[in-house]
Chain A
Amino acid sequence: MSADLDDTDRALLRLLMADGDMGAAALGAAVGLSQPAAWRRVKRLESLGIITGRQLELDRHKLGYEVVVFLGIKLAAKGRVGLEDFERAVSAIPEVQLVQHVLGVYDYRIKVVARDLADFERILRRRIMTLPGVGEVESNVLLSEEKSSITML
Chain B
Amino acid sequence: MSRLNDANLAVAKETIARYPRVKSALIPVLHLAQEQDGYVSTEAMAHIAELMGLTPAEVYGTASFYEMFKFEPVGRYCINVCTNISCQLVGGWELLEHAEEALGIKAGSTTPDQMFTLEDVECIAACTEAPALQVNYRYRNKVTPAQFDAMITALRAGELVDEFPPHGTLSRIRQGLPENWADTGRTAQAEVDAR
Partners in one complex: no
**Interface on A for B, CB 8 Å cutoff?**
none
**Interface on B for A, CB 8 Å cutoff?**
none
